[in-house]
Structure 1
Amino acid sequence: MSAGSLFASNAYLPHGWESNVRLHWDADGAMTEVERAAQPQQHEPQAVFVLPGMTNLHSHAFQRAMAGMTEMAGVSKDSFWTWRDVMYRYALHITPEQLQAIASQLYMECLRQGYTSVCEFHYLHRNSDGHWYARPEEMAQRLIAAAQHTGMGMTMLPVLYSYADFNDQPLRQDQRRFHTGVDDILRLVDHLAPQRSAQVEIGVAPHSLRAASIDQIRAVHAALPADRPLHIHIAEQTKEVDACLAATGRRPVELLLETGLVDERWCLVHATHLTKEEVRHIAKSGAVAGICTTTEGNLGDGFFDLPAYIEAGGRFGIGSDSHVSQSPVEELRWLEYGQRLRLQGRNIASTEQQRNVGDFLWQQALSGGAQASGRQVGQLTKGYRADFLVLDEHHPNLAGLPSKAVLNTWMFAGNDNLIKDVYVAGKRVVHNGQHSAQSEIQQAYVECMRSLRAL
C-alpha cells in the first residue's frame, strides 16, 4: 500500500458538504490532511461526490447463506422463534472453509453497497460436535481473513453464550456450537490480540441477558481492556421482555442499566421494545442503539421508537444483521419509512438543525457506527481511516444535482446502486461498481452454497 490523494469537487465533511477538497492519506491508510479550497491538478485522481463509508455495526456473517431460505410459511404461526430454530439447524453444518467463503461474499457485497467497516457479532465458535477446534479462534480467524481479503475493516466481537434462557437454563443441543463461558471468551480475546491493528479491533459481545448472566457480564467487563467495545442483543422481542420480567422483576434494558456498566463503549442491538424512561436512560448513558431495520422487518420484531430517541439526544447506527439486505441505503430508508407507517407522518428523522432526512440519517449512522466499532472511522478527518465512497455523478439521479440534494436523492429515489468506487484504508477495493476480487469470491461462494443446499 502507498500514500495517495484524491481531489473531490464535493466532499462530505463532519459539518456537511464542502466544495473543492483534496484528501491525503499515508501508506498505512490514515488520513493525513483534508485540504480545503483546493484546485484540481492535472493527472490526479478526481471525483465529484465523495463521502465517508458506513459502519455495519451488527453482522452474523454465516446467516448470509440463509437469506431467502426461510420465507415459506409453516403449519403454525411463524415468528422470530420459529426462524431461530431453522437458523440453529443451519448453523450446525457450516465448516470453517465455508464460513470464510460466505463471509467473503457478504463483505464484498457490503463494500459494493457502501459499508467499509463491519462489527462481527460472532458466536459460531465450536465444531459441529460442540468441541473446540485445535485453535479455539479458528472460526473468528476465518472471518478476519475474509475481511482482510475483501478489504473490509473489522471489529471482531467474540460472543459470550452460556445459557438457553433466563434462570441459567442449560443450552439446547442445537446451540452446542455457541457455548462459551467467561474464561473461554477472555481466552479468545487473548488469542486474537495479535490481530489488532488499524484495520481490526477486538471487543466482546455478551449475546443477551437470556444467554449471559449479569455476573458473567460484570466479570467480562472487568477483565476487558477499557478501550474495547461491548455489544449485546437487548429487548428485541416481547417474549424476551416478558421472560426477563418473570425471571428478574426487571425489563432487559432496565436490568442492564442497573449494573452501572453501560456507557459509550456499549452498543445495545435492536432495543426494539422500550419504555419512554428506557429510551431516555439509554440516550443519557451515551451508548449506541444498533438498529437493524431490514432484519427487524424480516423477523417481525417491531419498531424502534426513533422520534423519542432523537428527542432524547440518543446515538444510533445501523447493521444488516441477518443480511437479507446488504445496503445501508435500504437500511436507513426503511428506518425512516417504518416510522412514517407507524406514525402516519413524513420526514421523521430530522431536527431543527438538520431538516434533510437523508443527511440526518447518514451523519447519525456514521457517528454511531464509528463509536460502536471502537475504530477511527466515519469521518473525512485527519487521523481517521481513509475509508470513503465515490458516487456515480453520471447516473441520471445525480447528474447535475447540487450536493445538498445528493443524500436525499440517493436514499429515496430508486434502487440503483449509485456507488462507483470504494476506498478502504486508501486502497480502492471497488472500481466502477465491481470489487477487485469479485469473480473469485463469487465462484467460491457458489461452490459453498451447492454443498450447503445439498444437505
Structure 2
Amino acid sequence: MIACWFQRAWIDNQWQHDVRLTVTEGRISALETGVGAAPGDERHAAALPGLCNVHSHGFQRGMAGLSERRSRHDDNFWSWREIMYRFLDRLTPDDVAAITAQAYAEMLEGGFTRVGEFHYLHHDPAGRTYADPAEMAGAIVDASSATGIGLTLLPVFYAHGNFGGASPSPGQRRFLSDIDGFAALLDSARTKLVGDANIGIAPHSLRAVAPDQLTALLAMSPIGPVHIHAAEQEKEVADCIAWSGARPVAWLLDNAALDARWCLIHSTHLDADEAARLAASGAVAGLCPITEANLGDGIFPAIDYLAAGGRFGIGTDSNILIDAAGELRALEYSQRLAHRARALLAGTESPFVGANLYARALAGGGQALGVEPGLAVGQPADIVSLDLDHPSFAGTDDATLLDRWIFAGRAGTIDCVWRAGVKRVAGGRHVDRSAIAAAYRKSVERIVA
C-alpha cells in the first residue's frame, strides 16, 4: 500500500484540493479531499488521471525523422507508406520489442498511461507465419511489461491491397491473414496478456478487409474494442465511392452497426451527414493530430462533430513525436488554422479549451480501449503529476492550469507518472530510460545501417 497527497487533483473533470489517495494492489482504495498529508505520504502539486493513447504503431517510432526528405514531386501518405514498408522489412521480434519499449517509455513520460497497439506486423520478413502465430504480439506485450504501460492489444486483420479484394502488394506480406489464421493468432495473443491488459480486434480498413470478412471478425470477437482505419485520405474516400457508391464512414454506419465499442481511427474526411451520424452512433473518433499533420492527411471537422455530441480519443499513430499535451494542442490549432479563429474547442459549460479537451479525451480514450478512466476508488492508480514549480505554471489557478500545460508547457512539466500504483516516471524520466534507450539504439542502428 502507498499513499500520495496532492495540493490539487483532477476528479470528475474539476480540480479538488488537498487530496489524499491510498493505493492498494495497484488500485485506488481510498480517496479523500480537503485533508492534510499524513506522515510518510508522498507529496506532489497536481494530479491528473493518465490518458489513453487510442492508436499506436509502436515499431514506427524507429523510423521517426527518416521520411522528411522529398523523394518525388507529389510526396504524400502513399509515398510515405512505401518508406515504412522498406523499414519494417528487417525487423525481428526483438527489434519490435526494443523499439516499441522506447515508444511506450516516451508515452509514459508524456502523460499516457495506457496504449491501444494497432498491431499488424505479424509474420517473418518473407511473410511466413512464425511457429507461434502471435510471436510479434508477444514482443508488444514484452514492451508493455518492460515499461509498465497499460496495454490494449488490437491485433489487425489485413487481407487485401485495396477495395474490392484487390491483391496485396509485396510490401504488405508481413501483415496478411485469412480468417482461420487470424483466429489462431488471436487465440495465441490472448494467452500472452498479463496484468490488466485487454484485447480487441482491428479490421485494418475497408481497403484491406472485405465485407464478409468483417462480418466474420465481429462474430469471432463479440465483445471488446473494435478499431478500424477510416477516411484518413481523400484517395481512400474516392476509391471507396468507386467500389461501393458510399464514403467509408457512411458505409460503416450503414453496414457495420457501429456502437460504443467501435473506434474509427482518423475519420479525417467526413461530410456533414457522416459527422452527425458518427456522433449519434456512440462510437469514438480516434484522432492523431500530430501524425495527421506530418502525413498531410487533412483536418478533422471537430467543431461540428463535437457540437453533435461526438466522442473522441487521441493517439500517437506513427509515433513521430510522442506528447499527450501536444496532440491536444495540435487538435485545437488545426481548427484555428482551418477557421481562422481562436478557442474553438471550448465547451458550452466551460470557456477553457484545455479543460474541455482533456475531459473529452479522457472519457473517449477510456471508452475506446475498454477501460474506465479517472481518479476514483476502485480504479487503477494511473496518475500523472505536474510540476507546478515549472515556469510554465507561474501564477496559474485552477481555471488556467490545463491551458498552461497544453498550450504553453515545455519539457519538464510532468514530474511523476504512476501506472497501476507503480511509479514509472520520476523527475520527468522513465525509471528505466537508460536501459530502454540503449536497446532501442542498438536495434535502430542495425536496421538503418
Tell me the TM-score normalized by structure 2: 0.98
Partner of 1:365: 361
The residue type equivalent to 1:21 in the other structure is V
Partner of 2:218: 221
Between the aligned partners of 1:424 and 1:54, the Cα distance in structure 2 is: 11
Provide the secondary structure at the position in 1 that maps to 2:393.
coil
Pick one of 169, 188, 191 that aligns with 1:191: 188
| Segment of structure 1 superposing worse, 189-198 or 109-118 | 189-198
Taking the TM superposition and a 5 Å limit, the aligned residue runs for 1:442-453 are 442-453=437-448
Cα deviation for residue 413 of structure 1 reads 1.1
Cα deviation for residue 295 of structure 1 reads 0.6
Partner of 2:150: 153
Partner of 2:175: 178
Partner of 2:381: 386
Cα deviation for residue 374 of structure 1 reads 0.8
Partner of 1:261: 257
The answer as to 2:27 corresponding to 1:4 is no
Partner of 1:167: 164
Cα deviation for residue 404 of structure 1 reads 2.3
Provide the secondary structure at the position in 2 that maps to 1:408.
helix
Whether the 8 Å contact between 2:17 and 2:34 is mirrored in structure 1 is yes
Cα deviation for residue 391 of structure 1 reads 0.8
Provide the secondary structure at the position in 1 that maps to 2:132.
coil
The residue type equivalent to 1:66 in the other structure is M
Partner of 1:48: 45
Partner of 2:433: 438
Partner of 1:25: 23
The residue type equivalent to 2:426 in the other structure is H
The answer as to 2:77 corresponding to 1:77 is no
The answer as to 2:410 corresponding to 1:415 is yes
C-alpha offsets along residues 80-124 of structure 1, whole Å, 9 cap, x if unaligned?
Answer: 100011111111111111111101111011111111110000000
Whether the 8 Å contact between 1:390 and 1:422 is mirrored in structure 2 is yes
Whether the 8 Å contact between 1:189 and 1:203 is mirrored in structure 2 is no
Cα deviation for residue 195 of structure 1 reads 3.5
Cα deviation for residue 400 of structure 1 reads 4.6
Cα deviation for residue 182 of structure 1 reads 2.1
Whether the 8 Å contact between 1:104 and 1:149 is mirrored in structure 2 is yes
Aligned length: 449
Whether the 8 Å contact between 1:269 and 1:289 is mirrored in structure 2 is yes
Provide the secondary structure at the position in 2 that maps to 1:258.
helix
Provide the secondary structure at the position in 1 that maps to 2:309.
coil
Whether the 8 Å contact between 1:49 and 1:403 is mirrored in structure 2 is no
Partner of 1:143: 140
The answer as to 2:299 corresponding to 1:308 is no
The residue type equivalent to 2:336 in the other structure is R
Cα deviation for residue 138 of structure 1 reads 0.5
Whether the 8 Å contact between 1:155 and 1:201 is mirrored in structure 2 is yes
Taking the TM superposition and a 5 Å limit, the aligned residue runs for 1:268-417 are 268-376=264-372, 378-417=373-412
Between the aligned partners of 1:372 and 1:414, the Cα distance in structure 2 is: 27
Pick one of 2, 12, 15 that aligns with 1:14: 12
Between the aligned partners of 2:181 and 2:30, the Cα distance in structure 1 is: 42
| Segment of structure 1 superposing worse, 378-387 or 295-304 | 378-387
Partner of 1:212: 209
Cα deviation for residue 196 of structure 1 reads 4.0
Cα deviation for residue 148 of structure 1 reads 0.8
Cα deviation for residue 194 of structure 1 reads 2.7
Cα deviation for residue 36 of structure 1 reads 2.1
Cα deviation for residue 210 of structure 1 reads 0.6
Tell me the TM-score normalized by structure 1: 0.97
Between the aligned partners of 1:414 and 1:117, the Cα distance in structure 2 is: 22
C-alpha offsets along residues 38-77 of structure 1, whole Å, 9 cap, x if unaligned?
Answer: 2212321111100111111000011111111001112331
The residue type equivalent to 1:390 in the other structure is S
The residue type equivalent to 2:279 in the other structure is A
Cα deviation for residue 198 of structure 1 reads 4.8
Q: Unpaired runs of 5+ in structure 1?
A: none
Cα deviation for residue 261 of structure 1 reads 2.3
Between the aligned partners of 1:181 and 1:369, the Cα distance in structure 2 is: 30
Between the aligned partners of 1:36 and 1:249, the Cα distance in structure 2 is: 56
Cα deviation for residue 399 of structure 1 reads 4.0
Partner of 1:111: 108
Whether the 8 Å contact between 1:113 and 1:417 is mirrored in structure 2 is no
Partner of 1:129: 126
Provide the secondary structure at the position in 2 that maps to 1:263.
coil
Pick one of 75, 83, 86 that aligns with 1:86: 83
Cα-Cα RMSD: 1.2
Q: Unpaired runs of 5+ in structure 2?
A: none
Provide the secondary structure at the position in 1 that maps to 2:276.
helix
Cα deviation for residue 406 of structure 1 reads 1.0
The residue type equivalent to 1:74 in the other structure is S
Between the aligned partners of 2:120 and 2:277, the Cα distance in structure 1 is: 28
Partner of 1:65: 62
Cα deviation for residue 199 of structure 1 reads 2.5
C-alpha offsets along residues 202-231 of structure 1, whole Å, 9 cap, x if unaligned?
Answer: 1100000010012111111112142x1000
Between the aligned partners of 1:225 and 1:195, the Cα distance in structure 2 is: 20
| Segment of structure 1 superposing worse, 401-410 or 191-200 | 191-200
The residue type equivalent to 2:433 in the other structure is Q
Whether the 8 Å contact between 1:96 and 1:138 is mirrored in structure 2 is yes
C-alpha offsets along residues 109-146 of structure 1, whole Å, 9 cap, x if unaligned?
Answer: 11111111100000000000110111110101101110
Partner of 2:242: 246
